[in-house]
Structure 1
Amino acid sequence: MHHSRLCTLVIDCNVEDLGESATFWSHALGKAIVTLDQDGDGRYAELATAEDEPIILLQRVAHESRVHLDIETDDLQAEVARLEKLGATPVACVRDRWWVMQAPSGHRFCVVQPQRDRFGPHLNLWD
């Protein structure tokens, strides 16, 4: 048995600098900017969200701009296997930390390890 839940809305931005995009989305969503450089490499900015809301992350990317979802889980392999049974296709495992997946509709999403200190609320329990 394992758990999973929606954890992050990722706004993929094909831009040189996330500052302008973060400012736009901050004002559009009414969420303060937590950081413009989460990991020190200029690739991630984060907006403030409540503990029971999904994280809103902006990611600087080389592909076209789009939005994707992250599903967090306490068992990466079990969750990937569950989603494969539903018709998703694994695309790539990134540094053994997360999986990029593709839904039957063609949408990309990620399966990641728990992203907050407290894993919950709103967890799904799977066999």
Structure 2
Amino acid sequence: MHRSRINGILIDCNVEDIDAAARFWAEALGRPINRDHPGTRGNYVMLEDRPGEIAVQIQRVDHESRIHVDIETDDIPAEIARLEKLGATVDKRMERWVVMRAPSGQRFCVVRVQRDGFPDDAATWG
């Protein structure tokens, strides 16, 4: 058995200035930039978390700008297998996460547990 839930929305920005993109999204979403978050580094900027809400991260990318979701899990291989049974495919295996593609074409990531409250809020599979 394993568990999973949506971790966050990632706003992929194909831009030179990730800070300007983060400022826009912070204002648009009403969530200040969280410079102290460990996820804010290099090409990544976290917006302030709100208790009980999913995370929002702005990231600089080389591909087209888009938005994707991350699914967090306590067992990445088991979650990948579950999603593959639903028709998803693996696009790319990274060091700490896996990029997948839904049958309808959207890319998303499967990541390790990131947010507090995981055991209480996650769906149980298997």
Same fold (TM over 0.5): yes
Tell me the C-alpha RMSD between the 2 structures: 1.5
Q: Which of structure 1's runs of 4+ aligned residues deviate more than 3 A?
A: none
Instruction: Judge which range, 86-95 or 111-120, deviates more.
Output: 111-120
Structure 1: tracts of 5 or more residues without a match: none
TM-score w.r.t. structure 1 length?
0.92
Distance 1:71 1:47 in 2: 18
Q: Residues 120 and 59 (structure 1 numbering): CA distance in 2 closer, same or farther, change over 3 Å? A: farther
How many pairs are equivalent? 124
Structure 2: tracts of 5 or more residues without a match: none
CA apart distance, 1:119: 2.4
TM-score w.r.t. structure 2 length?
0.92
Distance 1:98 1:48 in 2: 22
User: Sequence identity of aligned pairs in percent?
Assistant: 52
1:72 match: 72
2:114 match: 115
Paired amino acid for 1:13: C
- 1:85-124 equivalence runs, <5 A: 85-95=85-95, 97-124=96-123
CA apart distance, 1:104: 0.4
Distance 2:35 2:11 in 1: 15
Give SS of 1:35's match: coil
CA apart distance, 1:51: 3.0
Distance 2:110 2:51 in 1: 19
Paired amino acid for 2:104: S
